Structure 1
Amino acid sequence: MASVQKETIIDADPADVWAVIGDFIDGPTRMAPGFVTNSRLEEPEVRIVTFADGTVAHERLIARDDQTRRIVYSVVGGTMHPTHDNASMQVFPHSEGRSRFVWIRDMQPDDLAIEVGAGMGHGLSVFKQTMESPR
């Protein structure tokens, strides 16, 4: 099983970063506007996320913990065809007013890791820019 881990320091308060990441329904569009074009709830605890390149992911909420600022989801359908795809996102305090954001995805088949890792890297850069832009 392949595992991809991405992390970054964001110049934003952990509570503000968690407000976006912890929002299971609208979080993806708030996290990476333009990269993610739509996110909606299809059935209880399954969101449909549409990306700018046309990729669609059906993601089931596995766990959401406000105390640890961690969310876990699994890709259960869509246009990608993993046999397994589980992800976690977590926000940690880094220093005054800053956050460390960690995103981990485990998937099979292993050859998806390169493409998924590239998408995660791009999404992460958009997220960092979005969170650090004046609102």
Structure 2
Amino acid sequence: MASISMEIVINAGAGDVWKVIGEFATGPSRMAQGFVLDTRLEGDHRVVTFADGTTARERLVTVDDDARRLVYSIVGGTVTPEHDNAVMQVVADGERCRLVWSRDLLPDTLAAPIHKAMARGLDVIKKTLDNA
């Protein structure tokens, strides 16, 4: 199983960043404007459409507001891993915060393209949420 873990520093308070990251229904469109074109709810799933045409149907696993931790899983769309577990967590760091994004997935062959997409996404998230 491939494991990916990445983090960025965001020049904004953890509470303000969590208001965006922790909102399952609209978070992707708000945190990664331009990288994500649309996010919509379909029952207890969200469908995220990316600028490159990729779609991901994601199931919410849990939201922990106290820990500022959101867990979700890709269960369909144009990329369909055998297994996917993703965690986004906002960690306070003084007046700024860190966003830690990790995922475990199968098959291992998805690690390189998912890592690349996560890196691009984190760049956009930082630009969007810095000084929010």
TM-score w.r.t. length of structure 1: 0.95
| SS of residue matched to 1:37 | strand
Q: Which runs of 5+ in 2 are unaligned?
A: none
| 1:83-105 superposed Cα distances (whole Å, 9 cap, x missing partner) | 0111000001112x100110001
Letter in 2 for 1:24: F
Query: How many Å separate the matches in 1 of 2:101 and 2:77?
Result: 21
Report the alpha carbon displacement of residue 81 of structure 1 after superposing the two structures with TM: 2.0
Letter in 1 for 2:66: Q
Query: How many Å separate the matches in 1 of 2:109 and 2:17?
Result: 31
Query: How many Å separate the matches in 2 of 1:15 and 1:7?
Result: 17
Query: How many Å separate the matches in 2 of 1:60 and 1:20?
Result: 18
Letter in 1 for 2:112: I
RMSD of aligned C-alpha atoms?
A: 0.9
For residue 99 of structure 1, what is the aligned residue in structure 2?
97
For residue 11 of structure 2, what is the aligned residue in structure 1?
11
Matches within 5 A, 1:54-133: 54-95=53-94, 97-132=95-130
Letter in 2 for 1:90: Q
Report the alpha carbon displacement of residue 132 of structure 1 after superposing the two structures with TM: 1.4
Matched pairs, number: 132
Report the alpha carbon displacement of residue 24 of structure 1 after superposing the two structures with TM: 0.3
Percent identity over the alignment?
54
| SS of residue matched to 1:23 | coil
For residue 29 of structure 1, what is the aligned residue in structure 2?
29
Query: How many Å separate the matches in 1 of 2:130 and 2:73?
Result: 28
For residue 48 of structure 2, what is the aligned residue in structure 1?
49
| SS of residue matched to 1:111 | helix
| SS of residue matched to 1:77 | strand
Most deviating of 104-113 and 124-133: 124-133
Deviation above 2 Å: which 4+ runs of structure 1?
A: none
| 1:38-65 superposed Cα distances (whole Å, 9 cap, x missing partner) | 0000112x00000000100000000001
Query: How many Å separate the matches in 2 of 1:81 and 1:25?
Result: 20
Q: Which runs of 5+ in 1 are unaligned?
A: none
